[in-house]
A and B are shown apart, each in its own frame.
Chain A
Amino acid sequence: DTEVTQTPKHLVMGMTNKKSLKCEQHMGHRAMYWYKQKAKKPPELMFVYSYEKLSINESVPSRFSPECPNSSLLNLHLHALQPEDSALYLCASSREGLASGNTIYFGEGSWLTVV
Chain B
Amino acid sequence: RKEVEQDPGPFNVPEGATVAFNCTYSNSASQSFFWYRQDCRKEPKLLMSVYSSGNEDGRFTAQLNRASQYISLLIRDSKLSDSATYLCVVKGFGNQGGKLIFGQGTELSVKP
Which positions in B face A, CB cutoff 8 Å? 31-32, 34, 41-46, 49, 87, 91, 93-100, 102-105
Q: Can you add 20 more A-B contacts, CB < 8 Å, to A31-B98, A104-B46, A108-B42?
A: A33-B98, A41-B104, A42-B87, A42-B105, A43-B44, A45-B99, A50-B98, A56-B98, A90-B43, A90-B44, A98-B94, A98-B97, A99-B94, A99-B97, A100-B97, A101-B31, A101-B91, A103-B46, A103-B49, A105-B46
In the bound complex, residues from chain B placing their C-beta under 8 Å from that of A100 are: 97
Give, as a whole number of angstroms, the nearest-CB distance from A9 to chain B.
11
Query: Complex Cα distance A65/B39, Å?
Result: 28
A79-115: which have CB < 8 Å to B?
Answer: 88, 90, 94, 97-101, 103-109
The size of the chain A interface, using a CB distance under 8 A, is 27
Query: Complex Cα distance A75/B9, Å?
Result: 35
Going nearest first, the 4 A-B pairs with the smallest beta carbon separation are: A42-B102, A99-B97, A101-B32, A98-B97
**A42 x B103 contact (CB < 8 A):** yes
Which positions in A face B, CB cutoff 8 Å? 2, 31, 33, 41-45, 48, 50, 55-56, 88, 90, 94, 97-101, 103-109
**A108 x B43 contact (CB < 8 A):** yes
Give, as a whole number of angstroms, the nearest-CB distance from A96 to chain B.
9
What are 17 residue pairs bridging A and B, where the CB atoms are less than 8 Å apart in the complex?
A2-B45, A33-B98, A41-B104, A42-B87, A42-B105, A43-B44, A43-B102, A44-B102, A45-B99, A48-B98, A55-B98, A88-B41, A99-B93, A101-B31, A101-B91, A103-B46, A104-B91
> Assuming the A-B contacts A105-B46, A107-B43, are A42 and B104 also in contact, with contact meaning beta carbons closer than 8 angstroms in the complex?
yes
In the bound complex, residues from chain B placing their C-beta under 8 Å from that of A33 are: 98, 100
